[in-house]
Structure 1
Amino acid sequence: MGYMDEVNIKVGDYVVYINTGTKGRVVDIRKDENGDIWVVLDNNLMYRPHLLRVIDKSKITERKEDIDEVVKKLEKEELEEGKLIDLDLGDACGAG
């Protein structure tokens, strides 16, 4: 398990990014060369785990398409406002 123990988020969990309300499914959890842990969501962006909250699957009542629409809209707004990711180092960290 290793560093996964430090994060109570698992691959496959649904999470919400608390700064913007962006929802997504966790596809990967990785550690960078500085020892920082990043959670990769299905929008191919990496987030710091302390800013994510796991959503109980039973609380997700929206259809998948609705979630996708909301996420797209939020991403567009976030890109325009330049606050897509919580940046500890001042540079973006793409996952793919």
Structure 2
Amino acid sequence: MTELQVGDHARYVRTGTVGKVVDVKEREDGRWIQLDSTGLYYHEDYVEKVEKKESKEKEEADIEEVVERIKELKEAFEHVDERVCEGGG
């Protein structure tokens, strides 16, 4: 297994989150890798090195998914009748 270093591109395998490694912490329970995309630390056992191109492709795919979801929500809200909404209390 290749040790990840600051500046490498990596993917957290459980969610597919990708980003650039900005920090590495050594602890008793192992190495923890911080990704710039989330600011979170991930245990090295669940992070794999990826090529920069692969990281960029995943980012573009995520953006496309968000845009598609926004379109779906917009269409759904176009059919909401505001006159029927009831307040609480």
Query: Taking structure 1 as the reference length, what is the TM-score of the superposition?
Result: 0.52
Query: Taking structure 2 as the reference length, what is the TM-score of the superposition?
Result: 0.55
- With over 3 angstroms needed to count, the CA separation of the structure-2 counterparts of 1:23 and 1:60, relative to structure 1, is closer
Tell me what 1:28 maps to.
23
d(CA) in 2 for partners of 1:36, 1:48 = 7
Tell me what 1:41 maps to.
35
d(CA) in 1 for partners of 2:51, 2:35 = 16
Contact conserved, 2:18 with 2:55, CA < 8 A, in 1?
no
- With over 3 angstroms needed to count, the CA separation of the structure-2 counterparts of 1:61 and 1:37, relative to structure 1, is closer
Q: Which runs of 5+ in 2 are unaligned?
A: 67-89
Deviations 1:14-64 (A, max 9, x none): 1111111111110000123x3532111112100001111101224445396
TM-align CA RMSD: 2.9
Tell me what 2:86 maps to.
none
- With over 3 angstroms needed to count, the CA separation of the structure-2 counterparts of 1:7 and 1:30, relative to structure 1, is farther
Matched residue pairs, number? 64
Please state which structure has a larger fraction of its residues in helix.
2
Q: Which runs of 5+ in 1 are unaligned?
A: 1-5, 74-96
1:12-91 to 2 correspondence within 5 Å? Answer: 12-32=7-27, 34-42=28-36, 43-62=38-57, 66=60, 69=63
3-state DSSP class of the match of 2:57? coil
The alignment-based identity, stated in percent, is: 30
